[in-house]
Each structure stands twice: as structure tokens, then as C-alpha cells.
A and B are shown apart, each in its own frame.
Chain A
């Protein structure tokens, strides 16, 4: 195979891998917004907590897989506490209060992380089974990054099927479309909201623990990833699962292909795309409400 084919396949895999990380994070953000009409800027902080708790669990138990399962559970518990203490009260407080409170939470979590884990970034090795490189489509690619791609696709498919085919999926769709009507039809909307919120938190924690072996963990990682994730959500359409998928691919591929073709203006590209969407299609590419 020619050198340039190897190059482009590798770069496409890079783009796919980054898209999947963005997807795992933005899906929780967008669904919580779509269903609860709640802007949770602390979502990035939950991602960072997932990463750090994952590191501690992996160190304590010696197993990455334990961390992969338990870190999202721990982050969900943190989310539950936040929900009961703050978010439930702020549900109807309007977006400004929500943004201010969850923005404040970013700093609280930042300092909690600094106190518990220190200022210096931490790294983690991938599990033994996923170290090294694997040949795929004729190129050698880091095995762990393939694992991220596979994990992202798996979760994407499960969520799509659940939303389209299952009863709970129908209830969620009804809730997003018109929550009052859904409640009139006998759906316990509050409980549904709570379940979706927990799922969003778990996925943020999962994204965190999955990202650590590639990106390492820093106290500021939650805010670093929040901006691309918000761009994904806005481009895709607030509250829309399909939009989050499309948005993740757009942002992930633009970031990677931009780094290859237009390295000088790479960081501007995504913001230009965001501006274009806000001007020409403010509801996003695939709006949640039809």
C-alpha cells in the first residue's frame, strides 16, 4: 500500500477516535438539555472526576477493567448528589441561574481534584491486552485507540436502538417533544428525567476513564473538553441524539483534517463552523423537536 494511503487511513482513524470521545461526552450534555431543559456546564467536571476516580481505582485494584466499570458508577453517584441538592431545585429557575450555578461547580470540582490528586497531571497505561499496535486496513494503529472507536460505536448503536425501538425510548422521545403531554399520558416524567440524568453522568464518567490512557488527566481537563463538547451539541441541535452523533463526527473530523491540511488556522475552523451554524441554522443540523 502506498505511503499516502497509509497516511490518510491513519488520519481517518484519528478523526474517528476523537469523534467517539466527543460523542461519549456530548451525548449526556445534549440529552440532559433536551429532556430537562437544563444547561449543565458541570458535565465536563464529571468527565474529569471519571478520569481521576478511574486512575485511583486502577491503582488500588490493579485492574483497568474494574476502573472502567466502577468509575462511571462513582460519577453517577456524584451526579445523584448534585441532582438532589442543586439541579432539582434549579429545574425551573431559568437558564441564567443554571449556568451560574453549574459554572461555579466547575471551579468547585477543579479545586476538589487539586486537593485530592494534586496539580501535576497523571497518566495511566492501557490494560495489557490493549497495549501496542494492531494492523487494520493495512495500517498499524494503536490498539487502545481502536478500542475507543469500538466502544463509541457500540454505545452509539445501543442508544440509537433503545431510543427508536424500546418503550423507554418512546417515553424519552415523548418527553423531549412535549413533557406536559407526556405526563398527562401517564409517564412519570420526573423519574424518567432522573434516569436520563444518571445515564448522562455515567457516560461522562465513562468518557473520562476511557480518555485517560490517551490524553492523561489534568485538573483542567473538564473545562478543556467542555468547549468542543458544547460546540458539538450546538452544531448537532440541542437535545438531539442524532444531532450529537453528527456533530461529533463534524467536529472530530474538522479538528483532525484541519490539523493536516490547514494547520495554521486549524483552531479557528471549528469556531467558524459554530458561527456559521448559529447564523444560518440556529436550531442545529438535526433539531430535537421535529
Chain B
């Protein structure tokens, strides 16, 4: 008995020593800053899953120490957690950020403390525009990028008068302004435009009735999350979909929650940087592996987390081993992933990527799926005041 006990102890000690030696030096400390509670909790979890999946798939999970902190949707909370990650945990980089407000709050802190911030969602334009920073690298999208191609596209489809609706906050205004600029430049006319109180509008009936009264050829909206679910259902319940087709920024019918919209989402056309039905070998393999691991179809949020993991691993492979070299190497990564060719724009640190125009269709088995109608390749933002390239 005594000897067995001793052997076990010795074995445990040996494993511990070997493990300790093996891990030393190679560990990269990642501060994962996502909302794990509050309205964006589902998005946070999806990004986290995508990120971990990238490391797992590469068999490199043990090279990383992940320190997770919850930002909720509150900029002060996000900033406090970022300080903790940088000053106390001494992370090599921070990955995550769903809310644009949190991103704006973190920008000066990460720049001054020279910690790279790998943005896996927040699309606020100025973070890779006038307020860009060599330490803020975005692998998700910018609000302008997702919407700009849709103006020309709608015009090309024969729509001339479009009515717009969006929630009244920064992202809503940026998305609509970009769409509007593109549509008007193409020669279209905005029949009317309204912004609904953000987070306080549950019933869109009055706004939908206003839109109908303006007699547009089409309606273009940006809504996301629970607002998108309510809007798409209500738009359909008023019989609008048959008369005036609904277009939107792709988050409107995200695969993450399109099932909650049900048949009301069928026929809605939207633009986005990723849909699970992109038919490329890279994406087909990714979707299959993700489904096998999580038993669900990956959304654009999962892909953003996944690509954040890919960019990080490739920067390390290129020789990065501390904060400064990560900030230098991560923007140089380019590769072809689930959403197609991906590179970081040296002029802004924003991603350059394809934008997909898709509609939501029945999959024939009671569910919904996405059908890619068009691909607009290599959509790149203007520098918008960013001076990184100079």
C-alpha cells in the first residue's frame, strides 16, 4: 500500500515537473474580453467558442493561457477589466470586444500601454478610421464595409426609391449613412428614413406603417439580435414582405437567430461578411468540423472568433513573442479561411474581405438556410482619416 502510494506521488510529481518545463516560455497569455452576461451574452459565447475551436483544431490549445473577463455591454466595465488584464495578469494581447462603445473606451488605454487589441466583433467605423491605432487590429468587419456594397447592388436590381429604418445609436446611424451614400451615388432616391429608440422599441408597427405610407420600392434596415427577431416577424405580419421587399445589413437574419424568426425571414436579402453556406473547400471543412464539435451551425460571430485565433497563431508562427512583435506581425497575416481571402489593411488595420449578398430560404426540412446571391470581392474601407499608412 505504502509503496503504491509513493509511486503515484512520484509519478504525479514527475508529470508536474515535465509539464511545467514544457509549458514554460511557450505560453501566450490572451486576455479574452467579451460580454458573458447582458444582451450580447450569446454573441460573446459564440466568439469564444470560435476562438477556442481554432486553437483546438490546430492542437495548440495548451500553448495559450486564456484569461476571460466579462465586459457586459458597459464601457467603464470593459475598461476596468482591460486594466486588470494588462496590469495584473500581464497578458500579451487582448482579444474580443463585441460592443462598439467598449471598443471606443479601450482605444486610448491599449494604445498608451502598447498592448495589441484583436477586435473580434465591434464594427464602429472610427476605430479603424480617424481614431485608428497601431495596436487596434480588427478581424471582424466595419459597419461601413458590410453596408457599402448594398447601395449599388440594390440600384442594379432595379430599385429606385428605398425607405430606411435602424435603431438610434452609433452603429445604426453608421450603417444607414453608408448604405444611403452608396445608393444615392448610384442614382437612387431615399424615400424616407427613421431611427427607432434603441433598446426601448418593442413594437415596430407604427414605423412599419410609416414605411408603407412612403410607398418605396424596397425597405432597407439594420437591426440585430432581439430587435432583428421582432422586426422581421412584425414586418411580415403586416403583409409588407409581399408588397415591398425587405433588405438589410446581414445581421438582420443572422444564422445565429434566424430560426427564431421562422418563415418571416424567408426572402429577406441581406449583406454580410460570412454565411455558413459559402461553397468553398475551406468553409465546407470548417462548417463540418464546427458542427461535429458544437452540434450547431457556425454563425459569423463564431467565424470572427475563429479568424482571431488563426491570425494570432500565424503571427506567433511568424516569430512574434511579445506585445510589440504581436502588434507588428498580426496585421501582416493573410490567409484564406472560411469567409474567403482575408488580409489586414496596412492603411487602417481593418480587415479586407469579401461581402456576401444572400437571402434566407427554406432548407426543405422545416429549417432555414442561406443562399448566396452575389459576392463582392475584397471590400476595403477608405482610410477615413486614419494616418497609419503615412
Residues of chain A whose beta carbon lies under 8 Å from any beta carbon of chain B: 3-4, 7, 10-11, 14-15, 17-18, 21, 114, 118-123, 125-126, 132-133, 140, 142, 144-145, 213-216, 218, 220-221, 224-225, 227, 255-256, 259-260, 263, 266-267
Contact = CB atoms under 8 A, between A and B. Distances in A.
Nearest to A13: B205
B206 A220 contact: no
A225 B203 CA distance: 11
A263 B195 contact: yes
A118 B237 contact: no
Interface stretch (B121-129, B253-261, B328-336): B253-261
A266 B168 CA distance: 11
Interface residues of B, number: 36
Given A3-B213, A215-B230, A267-B197, A121 B225 contact: yes
Contacts of B194: 263
Contacts, number: 95
Contacts of A132: 239
Contacts of A266: 197
A249 to B, nearest CB: 15
A120 B237 contact: no
Nearest to B197: A267
A14 B226 contact: no
Most buried by A among B207, B210, B226, B260: B226
B209 interface: yes
B185 to A, nearest CB: 26
A120 B41 CA distance: 8
Contacts of B200: 224, 227, 267
Interface in B226-266: 226, 229-230, 233-234, 237-239, 256-257, 260-264
Contact of A215 (B196, B202, B239, B256): B202
A259 B206 contact: yes
A214 B209 contact: no
Contacts of A260: 206, 209-210
Interface of B: 37, 39, 41-42, 45, 194-197, 199-200, 202-203, 205-207, 209-210, 212-213, 225-226, 229-230, 233-234, 237-239, 256-257, 260-264
Closest 7 CB pairs of A and B: A119-B42, A121-B226, A259-B206, A267-B197, A218-B226, A14-B205, A123-B260
Contact of B230 (A114, A144, A216): A216
B229 A216 contact: yes
A221 B225 CA distance: 13
A121 B39 CA distance: 10
A221 B239 CA distance: 25
Contacts of A225: 202
A225 B206 CA distance: 17
Given A17-B205, A214-B203, A216-B233, A120 B257 contact: yes
Contacts of B226: 121, 216, 218, 220
Contacts of A120: 42, 256-257, 260
A125 B203 contact: no
Contact of A14 (B209, B213, B263): B209
Nearest to B256: A120
Most buried by B among A132, A215, A256: A215
A214 B229 contact: no
Given A120-B257, A259-B206, A142 B238 contact: yes
